[in-house]
Every structure is written in structure tokens, then in C-alpha cells.
Structure 1
Amino acid sequence: MSAVLDTPAHARNDAAPVQTGLRWINRYAQLGASYATALAPQTLPADHPPYWVGQSRAVGDWLGLAPDWTTSSDLLAALTGNAPLAGSAPVATVYSGHQFGVWAGQLGDGRALLLGEVLSETGSGLEIQLKGAGRTPYSRMGDGRAVLRSSIREFLASEAMHAMGVPTTRALCVTGSDAPVRRETIETAAVVTRVASSFIRFGHFEHFASREQFDELRVLADYVIDRYYPECRATDVYQGNAYAALLAAVSERTAVLLAHWQAVGFCHGVMNTDNMSILGLTLDYGPYQFLDGYDPGHICNHSDTQGRYAYARQPNVAYWNLHALAQALLPLIEDERLAQAAVDVYRERFPLELDARYRAKLGLATHQPDDRALLEATLRLLAQERTDYTIFWRRLSEHVAASARGETRAQALRDLFIDSTAFDDWLSRYEARLTQEPLQDSANTMLGVNPRFVLRNWLGEQAIRQARDKDYSGVARLLALLERPFDEHPGFEAEAGFPPDWAASIEISCSS
């Protein structure tokens, strides 16, 4: 399952362990060698020392790190892979998966290391992972490294999604180094420290099922149930079949996740089964994008030549991926009808979740017979001219808030459309519907779910260009905005505005 690594002399980690006060429990590593390979991060060359690029104090507090962690040179070394963390038990996990709908066989943590699991300030278990800390037995032909641009994108997106209430992995920090890394061009190395309750993927289950290692499959499923889904042990759920109940619970969480994605206009870009979280978290930020103009067929990943992961296709892809997970769990469920019923929880739950999120975006608390038609008309209106998705919803929220004060901001909305007649017809219909709601309540709801700031590609690109010149203020500034995306942030009108013309030339791919 694993391979022997040819480790360069500089990669041998002889540094003293860094003490952090974190309480390590490392439950996944205890599953054994079938599930992961124990190895240390690969250190960077001494002539390319690490430096801080971005830090999330909120995640540091969540983990229970001391307030001065952001200035600790020892922690900087540890979170770059140059020194071990006392109490950690680093492993690279093995998994398989379908990529772009095709079985890819064994994959695994090719450039990520699970340092272990710690107890947070609230007592919950949190896994800490370094992404970009060197080669593992699962790197295949890769170097195991991450580069500055993709690391900044993942760091910012993780925290932006969390602030908007979207289930996601988190990011503690990004560290950088001038060590060269070859991609399309020579870039510089970086490491993201990721945090989540678990990084287990659909692909972990597919791996053991595809090899007919059913004992290992059962151990993994039991671990996930006992650790994250204990309610699945109830005898009155799915005929007492805990594995079917697990599949149903994952289907439900995935439905919630996809409804969040669609509502905020998030395109993941590479929804392979090895990028799907067993906990329903947004996992692996690569060629993602938040919509600019509303285009249901938008493809954010330049590598996705067939458009498999286009924005409007994401919900159906998630359902397909759940079927792949069901197939992997079938040796444990032992009943195809029960497995199908568990997967179909997604089909039942997703439209309800999506409807709830769009109703909130429109400020509708009560249910009226024509609400579905109104929502569909809204999305048709946006698609007709590819109206800027984020700006439309925010201006609509501001218009409703102004209306609650006896004012209007209809013209700011109207300015988004060339066909003003079509817009005016829609607005009249919408405002008539709003008369059945307490207007101030609608405004409060809308301003709390329709962000003013999202991580547009051009904003990330600006921060990346600054960082390449050793100026990390753009990363910090963007993080401050994205941690409070619903606030006004006076003085940052440009960051909440339309993308500049040059933004259209930005291409992101699986190497991003």
C-alpha cells in the first residue's frame, strides 16, 4: 500500500519538539497501518527559511493556542514542517476515488499530512493537517508541495466560507518559503495548516471496498459512526442498520452543504469523490470560484473541459458521488433497497434546503402558493443578462432595508439591468409579495444572509501578487473583510464592487 521514500538529507527532521500546550489524542492514527502511513513532514532547505503569510486568530482561539502564537518562531517552524509538534503523530492517509467520473484507483494524501487530533477549548476533537509539507507514499509523481498562490486561496476561502455559515474545513495559517517549486512556472513553496473535525472522505471508503478489504471497511465505518454519528446506532433507524443510517446521515449533510454552495454562488470546481467530506464539509479548495455574473452553466475550472462540475450541475454531481459512497458501503449494508433509500435522503432534503436559503435571500418568512414561481423568475432575470450575483442580492437587501425606513433604493437595483422593463415587472411582483411580510424583519434577514463581500478571484489575485513581493498586508486586509462579510466596512467599496476588466483573464485549474 505504501512506498519507501527517498528522503533528502535536509528533509530529516532532527529538531526538538515544539511545545504548544495542545492536548493531543490522535484517534485516527490509532486505526493502524492499513489506513495511514506514519511519517514526518519533509523539512525545507535551511537556505530558504519559512515566514508567516497569513494567520487566523479566530482559528487559533478555537484550537486553544496561546495568544502570542502569531509571533512564535518555534510554531512557525513546526507549521512549515521544519520541527515536530510535541504530542502529534503525523500520518498520510490512504484513499481512492473517482476523478471527473472515472475510477482513478488509489490516491491518498499526496501533499498533506494529518498531524493528529487535539481537544479544542470546547472539548471537541479537531484534526490538524499540513498541506504542502512534502512527499508522502501517495504523492505518485508529485513533489508533495503546495505553492503560495493556491495556499493563499485556500486559507482565505476556508475562513470566508465559515463566516458565511457554510460548512467547511478551516485554516489556521499560511507559511511561505522561497524554496522553488515547479508548476507551469517556477513558484515558491507554502504550507496551509488546515483544521477540521475530520478529513475523512468518500474516497477512504471506496479504497477498502474496491480492494474487497471488508474488515478494514467495517472498522473505518464503525470509527466514523462512533466518533461522529453515534445516533446511527439507534435500533429504530433504518431497520437497525447502522451503516445505512450512516449513509443517510451523510446524504443529509451533503444536501445541506450543496444548498449552501448554490445559494452563495460558490463553484467548487473539482467535485471528485476524494474531495467529498464524510461530514458534509467543503473540502479541498483548488480551482473554486464565487460567481461574478449569474450563469448557471459557468465552469470555474479551466481543466474541466467537459463542464462536469459547472455551477448548475453541482447538486446532481453530489448525488452521483453519494451513489459511489453507497456502492462502497453496500458490503456492510447488505441491502440495495436500503442503500438506495439512504441515498435518496439527499434528493428529498436538497430542494427543501435550497428553498429555505433562497427564501431567506428574498426575505420571505411565510409561505405563499406563488413563491416558487417568484424564485424561478428571479433566477431567470439574473441569468438573462448574467447580472452580478453578489451585488444583486446585496442591493436587493439594501433596497428592502430602505423601504422599511420609508425610502427606496430601486434605482441602484435597476442600474444592474439593461432591460429595465423586465426588471420593473419583476420588482413590482416581488414588492407585492413583500407586503405580506414584516418589512423590517425581511430586511434584517436579508442583510444577514446576502454578503457584501465574497472572495472573488480578482481580490484573491491582488493579494497573491502583493504576497509575491513580500507584502502580506493584502492577505490580512482581505481576511478582515471576509471574516465579517455582511458588515459594510466603509472605505472598502471597491472590494464590494464589480470585478475589473482584467479579472476575466484569470484562469484557475486543478494546479491552482
Structure 2
Amino acid sequence: MPASTDCAPPATTPAQPLLAGWHDGFAALGPAFYTELRPTPLPAPYWVGTSADMGTLLGLPAGWQQRGDALQAFTGNAVPPGSRPLASVYSGHQFGVWAGQLGDGRAILLGETAAGQEIQLKGCGRTPYSRMGDGRAVLRSSIREFLCSEAMAALGIPTTRALCVTGSPQPVQREELESAAVVTRVAPSFIRFGHFEHFAARGQQAELRQLADYVIDRYYPECRNDANANPCAALLRAVSERTARLIAQWQAVGFCHGVMNTDNMSILGLTIDYGPFQFLDAFDPGHICNHSDHQGRYAFDRQPGVGYWNLLCLARALLPLIQDVEQAQAALDSYEPVFIAAFMARLRAKLGLRQARAGDEALVDGLQRLLAAGRVDYPIFWRRLSHAVAANQFEPVRDLFADRAGFDAWLLQYQELLALDDQALEADLMLKTNPCYVLRNHLGEEAIRAAKLGDFSALQTLQGLLARPFDELPGHEAYAGFPPDWASTISISCSS
């Protein structure tokens, strides 16, 4: 488990710099892409949670969690030497409607570190892109993002990361009065589809090309390797395929993003902007995790289609650079086959099937129908199935289904495929693929409620379990159990 967080940093600061070797990175693009400004300080900051793994990745000095300058820097109260804080401008489609100019309304990029990672503070005050917002984040949403970023990374799903959360007693009004917090986010880049849409919509082709060249040269250099291919068309194809593989992983693990607007889509194929997210409890393909999504646009089973729709928006933005509709369409055409192949590979691993065979898709489709009809608990089903294959004892899995006959018929088909491989190897693959611990809403809510009272031990325990999602740790069985009845009443909105 993570070490206890010291909420009272020493008065003196060690001589070793907290962060050194800043690069301009995104800032080198110039003022058309951002506004430079300093974060707005918060009073009486304190540590809420920290990630030792991320500190190591960033090259932070040992003991940084106890340093006063770290607490001040990651709250936005002091700017680290060499940092050029900025908020970037972008536009986008929100719930399928063009929203025009958006931008970093409550996030400020400190810069790029020597480790090649950008550090961004979310919740550190108003920017020119805040519109009517206050530029703040609350403790509740910051804890959720912190935990889920690190949980997704442990599951092997591409994601932005979170270094820490700091809190402050400053009040912030959301559905109710809450306290402020700042989450320090980390990624190779925070560029979104909406950055390209912004300059395309304004007819700023020079800036559009500059942005595309920057992204290709920094993150997709292979797109320039084929002299006969348009680099921007190659970029669109690469982003399409990364996005397809990402969403396939979401669907396999039962993750609902909740607000897949184009400004929330990473150009690097990362899970970004954790707001009204949820891991499925009962398997419900039409589940809507965002109570603001009145039309169900971002329901769980619609995520693959929305991913493609968002890529169409990116294609339209890049079209002035590609200059050929057929090339742009061809770049998008790989999305569906890549998604299907990646999704089936994930499901085969979850089922312990080590190679593709005829009948796999029918087996998966039949299983999903059974799970949906019975609203079977998704994480528990997969974990029980993993143990069932290991012990060759399927009764605990059968107990999850009201339609016993339907499950028995499916099980016969499944066992025929299992018999073609080594069952011990199959079970080992499953136990390393189907997590014991996922960030269910009620687990996050329990950690949040304790944190609001100043008790961060529940957060630390949950963080430790999510960092080892495939290990069954004695004494923590409740974290892998069925959700309580009150879990279904948790309401998650865009302010969550």
C-alpha cells in the first residue's frame, strides 16, 4: 500500500531542485496556440494523494511528497523555475454539436520535463478559455481522476496519468458547496482532436499545418517514411488505428467514458478527461454513466461508433492538408477492422483462448447476450470464470445466471474450445487479464466521503489495490465483491 501522506510539509525546502530540464515543447508552437499565464493560488493547501510511480517516471527527487515546494508547485501557488505556464486553445463538438472555441478552461500546462512528459495542473484557476466557469476542480472529481488514471495504467490501457492531488479549504460551488482541489496530470501530450478543429474552422491553414507537422515530427515520425504517402493522411490513419485499439480495450474491460466530445479525444490515443466515467457493474450494453447525457449519445455500446464519428471530424479538419477526400476516407477505413480485431483479441484473452478459431465471434456474441439478459455483474463474472477454468469447476459462474439452461448451452461451446489448448495456460492467461479489482463507483465514493472528512486512508488502500488489479490480496475481499444496493443511486455528472 502507498505510504501515508504527510499533510504538514517541513518549513524548509531541500536544495535539490524539484524539477529541472524543462523543454518548450508545445510552447514552441507560438502564441496562436495558447495564452501564457500563471495559476491562481489556493489557500492552505494539503496533500490528498500521490503516486510514487509517477514521481519516479518524472525524475522527482526522493521524498518529494514531504517537500513544501512540491506542495506549492502542484497546487499552483508557485511556478517551478524554468516552467512557462500556459493554457491552450482548441474547439470541438460537444454531444454531436459544434461548440466553437473551447480551450483549457481550468487546466494550465507547466511545460514538458526532461523525461518527455508534459505536466498539467487541473483546477488551478480561470484562464481566457474558462467561459462562464470558475476554473476550479473539486475534491470529489480530482480524486476520481487521480484514481482512475492510475488504475487504467495498471490495467495496461493507454491513459493520461496523475502525479498527485492537493486540496484546499477554499469553497467551490457545484451541485452543492464543495472544497477545491488540483490534480496534477501527466502525458506525452495533451493535444486533442479539437486543436485541429479549431484552426480548420477558422481557416488558419498555416497554423493547422504547423500543428500537424509538430504532432507528426514529435509523435508519429513514421508518417513521413513513405515518400508516396501524404503525411497528414498517414497521421489520420495512425490516429484512427490507435483510437480503435483504445476503445476496444474500453469495451473489453467494461469502461464507460461518459463524455466523448471531440475536445476530449487524445491525438495520441490516450484515455483523457476523466469526468462522468464508470466501470460497469451489471452488464448493460445501453448503460449511460453521465446523467447529463439525456439522449444516451455516449452509452456504453455506442462508444465504438462515436469514436469513428469523432475521427470523421478530425478528418474534416485535416482535409485542407490532405487535399483528397478519397485519401482521407481511406485513412479512416482501417478503423472498423482494427477495432474488431483488437476487441476480439481482448475477449479471447479474457476467455483464455490463446489463438483465433472459427466460432470465436459467435461464442463472444452469445456470451454478451447472456450477460445482458441477466444483467450479470461484469467484473465478477470474468474473475469467477478465470477461477472456474483453473479448477474446472463452473458452478460458481453458473450461479450468476438466471437463465441456467442458456448458460449451460454456452458453456458446452466454450469448453469445446478450451479443450483444444492447455487448460493451465488458459487459466493463467485469464487471471492476468481479468482484474480482481476495478474502480467501481461505490469504491471511489467511499474514498471520497472519507477524504472529505480528512481521512485519506481509504483512498490510499484503494490506490494500492488498483495498482495491482490482478492480485488477490488477503483481507480485501470486499473490494472485489458485489456493489451495495446504494451504488445504483450514485449520480455522475460532468462536474464529477
Q: CA RMSD in A?
A: 1.4
Contact 2:85–2:108 at 8 Å: present in 1 too?
yes
| Alignment pair present for 1:502 and 2:491 | no
Residue 82 of structure 1, aligned match among 77, 81, 87: 77
Corresponding position of 2:155 = 164
Corresponding position of 2:280 = 291
Contact 1:18–1:83 at 8 Å: present in 2 too?
no
Corresponding position of 2:309 = 320
Corresponding position of 1:210 = 201
Q: Matched residues in 1 for 2:328 and 2:359: separation? A: 35
Q: Matched residues in 2 for 1:254 and 1:344: separation? A: 13
Flag structure 2 segments of 5+ consecutive residues without an equivalent: 1-12
Q: Matched residues in 2 for 1:201 and 1:446: separation? A: 34
Q: 1:22 Cα deviation (Å)?
A: 2.8
Corresponding position of 1:259 = 248
Give the AA of the match of 1:257. L
Q: Matched residues in 2 for 1:497 and 1:363: separation? A: 22
| Helix, strand or coil at the partner of 2:117 | strand
| Alignment pair present for 1:40 and 2:24 | no
| Alignment pair present for 1:355 and 2:339 | no
Contact 1:18–1:74 at 8 Å: present in 2 too?
no
| Alignment pair present for 1:367 and 2:356 | yes
Corresponding position of 1:466 = 450
**Scaled by the length of structure 2, what TM-score is found?**
0.96
| Helix, strand or coil at the partner of 2:32 | coil
* Residue pairs, 1:61-80, within 5 angstroms: 61-80=56-75
Q: 1:60 Cα deviation (Å)?
A: 0.5
Corresponding position of 2:141 = 150
**Scaled by the length of structure 1, what TM-score is found?**
0.93
| Alignment pair present for 1:413 and 2:397 | yes
* Residue pairs, 1:357-436, within 5 angstroms: 357-403=346-392, 408=393, 410-436=394-420
Q: 1:25 Cα deviation (Å)?
A: 0.6
Q: Matched residues in 1 for 2:293 and 2:375: separation? A: 21
CA deviations on 1:8-46 (whole Å, 9 max, x unpaired) are xxxxxxx9x9931432112111111100100010011xx
Residue 176 of structure 2, aligned match among 171, 181, 185: 185
Give the AA of the match of 2:151. A
Give the AA of the match of 2:124. A
* Residue pairs, 1:214-253, within 5 angstroms: 214-236=205-227, 239-253=228-242
Give the AA of the match of 1:485. P
Give the AA of the match of 1:201. R
Contact 1:267–1:290 at 8 Å: present in 2 too?
yes
Residue 103 of structure 2, aligned match among 108, 113, 116: 108
CA deviations on 1:133-168 (whole Å, 9 max, x unpaired) are 000000001110000000000000000000000000
| Alignment pair present for 1:19 and 2:10 | no
Which range moves more in the overlay, 95-104 or 439-448?
A: 439-448
Q: Matched residues in 2 for 1:378 and 1:419: separation? A: 12
Judging changes above 3 Å, is the alpha-carbon distance between structure 1 residues 487 and 23 closer, same or farther for their aligned structure 2 residues? same
Which range moves more in the overlay, 440-449 or 422-431?
A: 422-431
Q: 1:440 Cα deviation (Å)?
A: 1.2
Q: Matched residues in 1 for 2:19 and 2:355: separation? A: 49
| Helix, strand or coil at the partner of 1:23 | coil
Give the AA of the match of 2:396. A
Corresponding position of 2:122 = 131
Corresponding position of 2:461 = 477
Aligned residues: 484
Q: 1:423 Cα deviation (Å)?
A: 1.6
Q: Which runs of 4+ in 1 moved over 2 A?
A: none
| Helix, strand or coil at the partner of 1:184 | coil
CA deviations on 1:119-140 (whole Å, 9 max, x unpaired) are 22xxxx1000000000000000
CA deviations on 1:461-483 (whole Å, 9 max, x unpaired) are 00000000000111111100000
Q: Matched residues in 2 for 1:471 and 1:235: separation? A: 56
Flag structure 1 segments of 5+ consecutive residues without an equivalent: 1-14
Q: Matched residues in 2 for 1:430 and 1:471: separation? A: 46
Of all paired residues, the percent bearing the same amino acid is 64
Give the AA of the match of 2:57. W
Q: Matched residues in 2 for 1:296 and 1:21: separation? A: 45
